[in-house]
Amino acid sequence: MNHDMSSMKGMDHDMSSMKGMDHDMPMNSSTVKAASDKNDNTVFGWANASTPEGNKALQYSDLQSLDPQKDTRAAEREIEIRLGGNMERYIWTMNGKKFNEADPLVVKYGERIRLKFVNDSMMAHPMHLHGMFMQLENGQDPSNMPNKHTVIVPPGKTITTLLTADELGEWAIHCHLLYHMSAGMMNKLIVAQVEDGNSTKTVPQSQVNEKGVNPHAHH
């Protein structure tokens, strides 16, 4: 018991020291705010939807094309891309499949399509398409919709874009968080010259080099 009491006396001494520490460094909201103001470590931006006082954070709905869009056609069809994942197994998927399991997305040359990104996960995914710009459907008139090669799809949300498939080739489409891409959230979008009824869609000569190859096909 004497040994235990000695230990308790030592503990009392430690508690006294801690009380002094509490007095010197009170951990309350004012202290945290003062420390934040002093160090100026506040992070502003999309992640926490905060901005410095007197400023406005731009939203996707604010964006406009610098020049009028040349193709303002409505979409001929829609391709839905559902973004998902399994944190326990740590895999990320598009339409429920990893890259090595998925069939590529195939579109006709010159086709106007809608890409509908549906995020079923609890993380944001910046979805990136190689080779062509997408036009973000953000409420602007079709002639003013902004060009994007990467669109952020927030958790539980849906983002749609319009695409004119005017570059032949096999193009990567993937999450630009590269560890998500390497864990499976990737596919190919193939723009192909295809027969349509009795006619054949041809490729403009401007898109073919002297070897008969689309110069962008391996970007």
Name the residue range of residue 106's domain.
70-204
**Residues 76 and 35 occupy one common structural domain:** no
**Residues 99 and 152 occupy one common structural domain:** yes
The answer to the question of residue 107 being in a domain is: yes
- Work out how many domains the chain is built from and give that number: 2
The answer to the question of residue 133 being in a domain is: yes
The answer to the question of residue 196 being in a domain is: yes
**Residues 22 and 82 occupy one common structural domain:** no
The answer to the question of residue 17 being in a domain is: yes
The answer to the question of residue 85 being in a domain is: yes
pLDDT for 154-195, tens place per residue? 999 999 999 999 999 999 999 999 999 999 999 999 999 876
**Residues 94 and 193 occupy one common structural domain:** yes
Q: What is the pTM of this model?
A: 0.69
CATH number at residue 117: 2.60.40.420
pLDDT for 20-73, tens place per residue? 444 444 433 343 344 445 455 655 555 555 667 778 778 899 999 999 999 999
**Residues 113 and 154 occupy one common structural domain:** yes
Q: Which tokens is 123 given?
A: 């993380």
The answer to the question of residue 27 being in a domain is: yes
**Residues 151 and 77 occupy one common structural domain:** yes
**Residues 76 and 179 occupy one common structural domain:** yes
**Residues 196 and 120 occupy one common structural domain:** yes
pLDDT for 144-159, tens place per residue? 999 999 999 999 999 9
The answer to the question of residue 146 being in a domain is: yes
